[in-house]
Chain A
Amino acid sequence: MTISHFGAVLLFSLFTSVVFGITQRSDPRMMVRFGAFCFALFVGGTIAASWVMWLIKH
């Protein structure tokens, strides 16, 4: 199986956010919100860190 780096980020973020949402909140609606928040932070944080590394290199 081959996977792109971004694909790996998306899969990792998705599965981790699902578990975080379920385990860290009690209300189902808050679970969805917290899961979406975690997913956005994972993906957004990775993209931001990638740009920072690119700027450091150049």
Chain B
Amino acid sequence: MQVAGFVSFQSNLLKGQIYVNHGGVLINIIFSTLSAPFGGAFCAFTLLSSNPAMATNVSAPARAVQSSSFPTMVLIAGWLIPGAGHLMLRKWVRGGLIMASILAMFTIGLALKGKIYSPNTGDLLDILNFAGDLGNGLLYVLARIFDLGQAAVQVATADYGTKFIVVAGLLNIISAVDAHSLATGRKRS
């Protein structure tokens, strides 16, 4: 019987992996404890064939094995459609709240006769506002296609509308990055 493995301790999280080769049967043990040493310990055991190439790791806390491009897809979906990144991760309430909030901010911004910025190389603030607007993803594209929003500020409260649209875009970027962090496991839950 051959035994090999390692244990690491990083930021209050104890992780380890042990390989046991017993009579040609490879046993792969992966464990981690949250808030060690008092947190609950999770262990996962997998009995594998004698061919190490067929070994499949089961990590704990268990996460569904996703393809490597899945977090990127979550990021892009979250950017294009507000809340879609969280919905892809089955975070229904969070995704719904994010979608409702950003859609409401964008819609109120348009209703207040806010300005939709187009690509420009003029004033620095105009460029930054365009970058913020771009964060709305498909909402921005639709607004440009249907020529929504005002070209210039005409009433006093329209400036509020402009800011609502820009901030909606920035919040959408934050949400998409948060969904990406959830997909990669960088954020716990």
Contacts and interface: CB of A to CB of B under 8 A. Distances in A.
Our verdict on whether A and B bind, yes or no, reads yes
B112 A1 contact: yes
B98 interface: yes
Given A3-B160, A8-B160, A12-B167, A19 B108 contact: no
Contacts, number: 56
B187 A26 contact: yes
Query: How extensive is the interface on chain A, given as a class?
Result: 10 to 19
B94 interface: yes
A12 B94 CA distance: 18
A18 B94 CA distance: 9
A24 B111 CA distance: 29
Interface of B: 86, 94, 97-98, 101-102, 104-105, 108, 111-112, 157, 160, 163-164, 167-168, 171, 174-175, 177-178, 187-189
8 contacts: A8-B112, A8-B157, A8-B164, A12-B164, A15-B105, A16-B167, A18-B97, A19-B174
